Amino acid sequence: MNPVLDMAAAPDWQTGDMTPSSSGASRHEAHLREALALARESLEKGSSPIGAVLVDGSGKVIARGRNRVGEAQTAERVGDASVAHAEMDVFFQAGKLEDPQDLTLYTSLEPCLMCGGASALLEVGRIVWATADPWGGSGRLLAWSDHPAMQETDIVPCPLPELETEGASLFAPEAKRAFPDKGWALWREKYPEETEGVQAGQR
């Protein structure tokens, strides 16, 4: 098992402090930027600002998705439901996955327990996220390295500090609006600068 790829240590919400390695980080940048762009699109449409991209072993994007919880369901897209997360949108679009172990899921925000579990059950080989979610992320409930379905999945948290900051600033108003006081406190602790002065639902 390789629970943390391209990282010097496990994520700080699992075992302690972590220091991202510059090795391999640049290859993630374009896909993480696209996930963040999709997150901004979600915000403009009235949904939570989270985006995701599924990429094959050659670097080709095979599916794109974004949060659609605040939007009507259509024949093509799931919506208006608690399962309409960005990662689930990606998987619904991708359909049956071929060689899933060679796929990488890029997300603007650490996946929740549902989306992380779905990724593992679909045998996606790698998950990379721009920004940690100290409250809603799966790692708060069950350390990614301890997840029984994640033993063959490489986890790459926050490989690019610039994009981590961008993602945290983008999601912070939603975190304040949607999470309980305890959850918002964890966000304030993790991202003090990005959450400073944030108002709930601020656009």
- Give the residue numbers marked as catalytic: 87
Return the axis-axis angle of helices 161-178 and 26-44, rounded to nearest 10°. Answer: 30
Instruction: Name the percent of the chain in helix, strand, coil, to the closest 5.
Output: 40, 15, 45
Take residue 6 and report the two structure tokens written for it. Answer: 């391209």
185 CB neighbour count, 10 Å cutoff: 14
Ordered alpha helix ranges (H), the chain: 26-44, 86-94, 113-121, 138-141, 161-178, 181-190, 192-195
**Distance of alpha carbon 143 from the chain centroid:** 15
- H/E/C letters for each residue in 22-62? CCCCHHHHHHHHHHHHHHHHHHHCCCCCCEEEEECCCCCEE
